[in-house]
Chain A
């Protein structure tokens, strides 16, 4: 699994013997090697404290690995300068369990905000935001504020925001954690839709039933190590 090979550009994500030990001595990731191809749909599962969120923080360069190398879209993250980090993040749309919407802005502005922040022209914002909201079944809620929305709706707003800048990859850390079960299915369905449009999707989740039903690639992590990595996998550590 050498990153210097010719095939690098078609590989979305490479973790090469990555370990992460936090300042307090917690070893969150232990010699993790992974390879996620362009256009894949991957579940990352495992018990609480396994290191799943750490993995996502590393690939967003929110944290630095203690050892090992990470490549996103062929780019070596250790070579990235501080001022290039925003451009790395624009390639990824991120969704969190707690939605992280701006309460003072309505749905439309929450999504437009991400385009504003990346220097998009007003015209492209006016064209793109309604389109994405429609895609996420939110057209009717454009004027609503986050406090007026259900958990599932809020997460769809977050998903719209993640999508609006046309990222190469969507990264979702427990996107259904604060959403009722029926809505969880809808969110997963939307992620699946996004993936069908050739966007790579990486989802960290605890939803056993959903994982088992969708028959996607499943990477199981426990105590910072990859215990299993199977296509059409089940939510379990068994190889």
Chain B
């Protein structure tokens, strides 16, 4: 493409867009609706992912040691924990530390432990807190941890919630991928056929361009730009709608149901616009160029 042609192609693309005004707007509308739905599923995906990550971070597994284990074996046990591949981090919490933490947590219920403290008894064991890299193989890792000599007891955390959340997240991911994929194909198909109607009025012009000796690419470029205009317009419109519904529905919902953390829109706004623009451009350009393909036989 020559530089001077670039602007010619763009202005020609704008002309095609405007000469088929109603069809162009119909295409923008359909595409914007598809991108809107896709965008919402993408946001659901992002939020589920965020909450899952948060849970993973908070999910500390506690390993309590046998009181018999002498303190010179702590380092060895630590290294055996760290050898397990799925362990992300592990932290030693001594008996004394644990008691201090306990006192700090239950400062107002002093009577619960004042007797113990007076007698110099510390009922809490030495322990390790472990975080895992991948909680989908949680149970296997727990099994491996339980085989370490000296580990008396393991306290799993939130296991039911994690399992539940994980399977819900998996099906949400699955649904999101499929809906976005299907919508992509469906909108491409709709756009292709919508633009095809407009192409009918451009047929004469394409024919004339051909017999005056225009190359295929010279004919094609303006249509590609026309598709790009449709795609970008649709992306911007869908973005505004996504913004509106997200801040008015999802974020409000998040404020009511406190257990979920909802991403603020500002954090994902540019990413959303980018994804919508890329999808819009792809669908618009593909749809537009496929719709003129059959005019290039001659």
Contact = CB atoms under 8 A, between A and B. Distances in A.
Interface of A: 60, 62, 83, 86-90, 94, 100, 102, 104, 113-114, 116-119, 121-122, 161, 165
Contact of B19 (A89, A104, A165): A104
Interface of B: 2, 4-5, 8, 19, 204-205, 207-216, 218, 298
B215 A100 contact: no
7 contacts: A60-B211, A86-B210, A86-B214, A89-B212, A90-B212, A94-B211, A165-B212
A117 B216 contact: no
A165 B4 CA distance: 19
Contacts of B2: 119
A89 B213 CA distance: 5
A119 B218 contact: yes
A100 B4 contact: no
A229 B47 CA distance: 82
B209 A117 contact: yes
Contacts, number: 51
A34 B218 CA distance: 34
Nearest to A100: B208
A102 B204 contact: yes
Main secondary structure of the interface of B (DSSP, over half): helix
Contact of A86 (B4, B5, B213): B213
A169 B213 CA distance: 14
Contacts of B208: 100, 102, 113
A89 B219 CA distance: 15
A94 B213 CA distance: 10
Contact of A100 (B207, B214, B218, B298): B207
A83 B215 contact: yes
B4 A121 contact: yes
A118 B2 CA distance: 12
B231 to A, nearest CB: 24
A225 B33 CA distance: 60
A62 B8 CA distance: 27
A74 to B, nearest CB: 18
B26 to A, nearest CB: 21
B250 to A, nearest CB: 46
B212 A117 contact: yes
